[in-house]
Every structure is written in C-alpha cells, then in structure tokens.
Amino acid sequence: MADEPLGTGRADSASPASTVCRFGAAPLRIEDVAALARRDCMAELSDDPAFRARIQRGADYLDRMLQDHGHIYGVTTGYGDSCTVGVPRELVAELPHHLFTYHGCGLGRYLDPAETRAALAARLASLVRGMSGVSLPLLQGLATLLRHDVLPLIPAEGSVGASGDLTPLSYVAAVLCGEREVLHAGRVQPAAEALAAIGMAPLRLRPKEGLAIMNGTAVMTGLACLAWQRADYLCRLATRLTAFNVLVADGNAHHFDQVLFDAKPHPGQSRIAARLRADLDSAQPPRNQQRLQDRYSLRCAPHVIGVLEDTLPFLRQLIEVELNSANDNPLIDPEEERLLHGGHFYGGHIALAMDTLKNTVANVADLLDRQLALIVDARYNHGLPANLSAATGPRASINHGLKALQISVSAWTAEALKQTMPASVFSRSTECHNQDKVSMGTIAARDCLRVIELTEQVVAAMLVAARQGLALRQRAGMNAQLGATLAAMYEDLGSCIALVEEDRALDRELRHLLVEIRRERWELYVGH
C-alpha cells in the first residue's frame, strides 16, 4: 500500500467496554460517536419491535415499487447524470455492486481507526432513521463491523461532499460484500478473510442498498464529531494555559473582572473569564502598579478563546442534526409509502461547521503562540531569563532553554493559520454537471482536523513552557498566590516534564504530551 493506514487519532483501547450504544433508540450525540471511535462502548441495534418493523416496511415498500412499476432512480436507472439510462430487470441485482466498484478510486492517507469507526457510526446513525429502504441485515452488518473492529481502509481524498461521500463510503459497501481490505486484529488483511474470522457472511446488497450506504454525509460527519470534541477540550486547556501564563508573565488578574465582562456579556466569553478568575484565585485582585494593562494576548484571552466557546454549542447543533438525519437519495417514507427525491446528501452544514471550527481553533493557536513569545522574551517577561532557560552558573552561556521550541510553535501556528481558507467556497461542477454545486464538506473536515492537530502540538509545547515558566517565576518570587487547581495541575506537569536546565531534545516529551492531551488527562472546569 502506498499510504500507512495507522494514524495518530484519539487513543484506542484493545477491546470495547461493556457500555452499549444502541442505534435506533435515542438520537446519537457527539459524545456517543467519540466513545465508539475510542472503543469505549459497543455498537448494538435496537431490539424495539417498532423500530425493526419500520425498517422492514421501508424495504418491503421498495420491493413492491420495483415489482409494480419498475422505475426507481438508482435501482432501475443509472446513477447521477446517467439517470436517463434504464437498467434491464435482469441486471438490477448487479447495479449496487457496480456502484461501489467504480467508485473505488480514492487516494491519500487512510482514515485512522478512530476516524473510520466514527464514519461507520455516522452511516449507521443515518440508516436507522428508516427512510433509506435498507434491510435489517445491512444495519446488522454495519453494527458487526463496529462491534468486532473490522475497519475498512478508507482513503481520505476523493469526495466533494455531494452527492455525499460517495468514493470513501464505497470502501464500506465493498467490505460489507467481502471485497477490498480492512484493518483487523492489528493487521491489514482482505475483507473476506476478516469477515470469515468474525463469523460474518458477506452481504449481497439489495436494490438501492449500495446507494443508501454511499450517498450520504457519514465521513464528513464522523470526522466533524471527532473534531468538535477535540476542539472543546482544546478550548478548556487553552484557558488553563492562559492562567499559567498570566502568572508566569507576572500579569494582571483584574483584566478578568466579572463587572467588566458583564458589560459585554457574550456567554462563552464570560465563562472563559470566570474560569480564569477561579484559576487565579482572586475575586478582587490588586492592580499591578507597574503595568495597568497587559498585552492583548493575555488581556484579551477571554475574547479570543470565548469566540470558540460561544461557537461550540451552535456547531454541536449543526453536527448532531446531520448525524441523526436521513441523508441519502431518494428517501422512502415507509408510513405514507412515498418515494422522495431530494438533495440531503449535500454537506453544507458540516462544511460550515468545519470551516468555522478550524478558524476559531487556529485563532486560539495564534493566541498561545503570542503568549509564548511574551514569556520567552526577556524584554517582556518581567524578570525571567531569556528563553526561559533554567541554567545557572558557568554553563548558562551554552544553554538555550526553549528557544527552538518557540520556533517550532511558530511553525505549527503558521501552518494552522494557513489552513483556515474556507473549503466550502471552492465548489466545483462535476459529474457531467449533475453535481454542479457541491459542499466540499469532507475536505473542510479534514482541514479542520489538521488545524486541531497543529493546535494540539502548540498546546503540548505550551505545557512545557508553563511548567518551565512557573518554576522560574517561583524562583524569582511570585507576586500572586498559586490557587489549588493550578497548583494540582502544576504538580502533575512536574511529574511528567523535567525542568529544562541542560539543553535536551524535547520531541519524545512532546509526543507523550500529545497522547495525554488526546486522552484528556486533565479534568478541567467541571461545572463551570
């Protein structure tokens, strides 16, 4: 294979926990998808008779339509612009196989295990709505892949986001039929071999089932769920780091006064300020008489991080509506027995969510980058050594502290900012102008995840800087008291990050910190 299938997504566990996520019952939340992606819960189909009857009614109605008048888009016709091409009755059964076969042209990296599980979960969440005309065995097949961790190798590139994620999802359809390759039990193997190992017979897709699997927004939506959760944690972690950096820079806690933020009461912005007040343990902090006002990267931190905090609830709504929607075409109303042609495969809401999220997250990376620039610079860090070097004595001259780390942070931040060009405005007319307006939602989701990855790298570096800077501020004498929550986290950082006195490579420590960030090691602002 040209690309490595194993990525660096959120931490995977060897086997799923006993917690069950039941598809076909209550709507899924972002947290459910994230838990499935981490293997913290097991996928099961609802055993509610009403749910199963609804699924069966949709499949039965499709069969009757095919029998009665035999003219159904994507069943007795070609796909997309080829909808005017009639398919003879004797070839109808082969059509779904051709759909996933000719879409086997994806390239780029493979989705990592967590991303793949999220995509499978999102497709199953859509199909259990009962408006896609699929059978119970298909739903059970998707749940089985999740339960046994049989993961299709899904190329990340090749989707324009309408008609949905056709090319990436073709790899899901193919695997259900025993074709192409999967990651299972720690190795890449033929799908047929993996299915046999778990006792699952390959499916023979019924009419429309290939279209139902592929013609939807599952990949972009699954990725969006993961992006949202990681961004939510970054929002809280950036706030905690800001509190550390205020102390390191000998800054002014009064910039976060409640009355001040009551005067401009954006809810998320106000929450960030409240968290900083709690961290800095100063309801009525004294004014720093040397500097009435800190630089913007400290003073305006609630205004920067607060944009992300205020955006997250809105983006959650967009993502969760998409997650729990029927988003293929055509749809089947099993109650009124109607066939409905539309465009629900269009991923515009996910594209907006991801373009917005990557912008707000990149701004947080830039904020932290600017904070680091202040605290490493002896001209602005109010009495600390240049580059936060902890070396003393004769060897101080050959030690450089966090000089190179700041350069790396600048590089990661610059790349994150470069990635903020909105993908959703780059619609391309394709497929003989049938798909003449497309969402680019999947590209937006991939871009967003890259921005989040880069920001997590910035945060990892800032954790090193916080541990280093606070130690040096304590050495120089602190004008503020270290509150209990900050003290506890500072102690924990000290247990995994040694003080940089003699120059040393930091890459292993940074990679370890990235794992801990993605595991959400530090519990932050519970109840705030």
Q: What is the CATH number of the domain that holds 169?
A: 1.10.275.10
Backbone angles phi, psi at 308, to 5 degrees: -65, -45
- Identify which has the larger pLDDT, 368 or 290: 368
pLDDT band at 74 (very low <50, low <70, confident <90, very high): confident
Quick: pLDDT tens for 117-152: 999 999 999 999 999 999 999 999 999 999 999 999
In a domain? residue 13: no
Q: Of 114, 75, 14, nearest to 330 (Cα)?
A: 75
Which of 187, 216, 245 finishes a domain? 216
73 carries an active-site annotation = yes
User: Per-residue pLDDT for 12 more than 50?
Assistant: no
Give the Cα separation of 228 and 313 in Å (integer): 10
Shared-domain flag, residues 405 and 421: yes
Q: What is the pLDDT of residue 75?
A: 83
Query: Looking at residue 203, what DSSP letter applies?
Result: P
In a domain? residue 5: no
Give the Cα separation of 2 and 225 in Å (integer): 28
Q: What is the pLDDT of residue 290?
A: 62
Shared-domain flag, residues 128 and 180: yes
Cβ neighbours around 142 below 10 Å, total: 25
In a domain? residue 528: no
Q: What is the pLDDT of residue 527?
A: 76
Q: What is the pLDDT of residue 73?
A: 81
Q: Encoding tokens for residue 420?
A: 């903020």
Q: Residue 429: CB partners within 8 Å, gap ≥ 6?
A: 435, 436, 437, 438
The pTM assigned to this predicted structure is 0.94
User: Per-residue pLDDT for 10 more than 50?
Assistant: no
Query: Which range among 153-157, 298-302, 336-340, 445-449 shows the weakest confidence by mean pLDDT?
Result: 336-340
Q: Encoding tokens for residue 200?
A: 């699952």
Which of 159, 187, 216 finishes a domain? 216
- Identify which has the larger pLDDT, 373 or 286: 373
Shared-domain flag, residues 205 and 258: no
Give the total number of structural domains in the chain: 2
Which of 216, 233, 265 finishes a domain? 216
Q: What is the pLDDT of residue 4?
A: 36
User: Per-residue pLDDT for 2 more than 50?
Assistant: no
Give the Cα separation of 469 and 463 in Å (integer): 10
Q: What is the pLDDT of residue 478?
A: 79
pLDDT band at 7 (very low <50, low <70, confident <90, very high): very low
pLDDT band at 288 (very low <50, low <70, confident <90, very high): low
Q: What is the pLDDT of residue 286?
A: 61
In a domain? residue 124: yes
User: Per-residue pLDDT for 287 more than 90?
Assistant: no
Q: What is the pLDDT of residue 364?
A: 98
Query: Which range among 244-258, 272-286, 463-477, 478-492 shows the weakest confidence by mean pLDDT?
Result: 272-286
Shared-domain flag, residues 376 and 237: yes
Across 218-237, average pLDDT: 98
Given the residues 73, 102, 380, 490, the one annotated as active site: 73
Q: What is the pLDDT of residue 6?
A: 34
Helix 484-496 and helix 441-476, axial crossing angle in degrees, nearest 10: 100
Shared-domain flag, residues 313 and 287: yes
pLDDT band at 16 (very low <50, low <70, confident <90, very high): low
Across 173-201, average pLDDT: 98
Shared-domain flag, residues 242 and 385: yes
Shared-domain flag, residues 230 and 204: no
Name the average pLDDT for the chain: 92
Q: What percent of the chain has pLDDT over 70?
A: 95
User: Per-residue pLDDT for 15 more than 70?
Assistant: no
Q: What is the pLDDT of residue 72?
A: 81
pLDDT band at 98 (very low <50, low <70, confident <90, very high): very high
Shared-domain flag, residues 203 and 230: no
CATH number at residue 274: 1.20.200.10
- Identify which has the larger pLDDT, 1 or 194: 194
Shared-domain flag, residues 169 and 261: no
User: Per-residue pLDDT for 59 more than 90?
Assistant: yes
pLDDT band at 433 (very low <50, low <70, confident <90, very high): confident
Shared-domain flag, residues 350 and 394: yes
Across 301-314, average pLDDT: 98
Residues in the chain: 528
Q: Residue 361: CB partners within 8 Å, gap ≥ 6?
A: 231, 234, 308, 416, 448, 451, 452, 455
Q: What is the pLDDT of residue 493?
A: 97
Cβ neighbours around 525 below 10 Å, total: 17
Shared-domain flag, residues 235 and 294: yes
Give the Cα separation of 107 and 155 in Å (integer): 5
Question: Nearest-5° angle of CA 432, CA 438, CA 443?
Answer: 120
- Identify which has the larger pLDDT, 433 or 505: 505
Q: Give the domain range for residue 28.
A: 20-216
Shared-domain flag, residues 211 and 268: no
